[in-house]
Amino acid sequence: MQKAIPMDQPYEFVFEKEIEGVFSNGVAGWKSFYEKYPDSGGYNELSAVGFNSDKTVAVVYVAHFCGGLCGGGGFHVLEKKEGKFVVLVGFVRVSRGNLKSVISILNLESRNLKSRI
């Protein structure tokens, strides 16, 4: 896989099979993960990207994993402006306690986006 995502920080693509292998024994896998990727701070997973019909608004879910009880995730809503996607709605964090609030926020934002979609 080619590294074509411009970022300020170095990154590596790690395939799902490698992650599954590292964590085949559960949270004990974090020790070997950090031995192999000592300065990583964990890893991120991205969902498939959803677009509106004219591909000017995108939504992606990003999850971050960094240890047994360490991590989080949220939705990013981006809008294409001058040929590049920019953040429209920052980071909507999801946890068990606020899932209903997140759904409400996303419903509100989707109503606000109707003129753009």
Other CB atoms closer than 10 Å to residue 103's CB: what's the count? 12
- Which pLDDT score is estimated for 91? 61
Q: pTM for this one?
A: 0.69
Pairing of strands 50-51, 57-67: antiparallel
**C-alpha separations of 51 from 57, 80, 107 in Å:** 6, 11, 16
- Which pLDDT score is estimated for 90? 63
- Which pLDDT score is estimated for 23? 95
With bands split at pLDDT 50, 70 and 90, how would you rate the model's confidence at 76? confident
Helix (H) or strand (E) segment spanning residue 88: strand 84-93
Q: Given a cut of 70, is residue 15 above it in pLDDT?
A: yes
42 and 67 Cβ atoms separated by less than 8 Å: yes
Give 74 or 65, the one with higher predicted confidence.
65
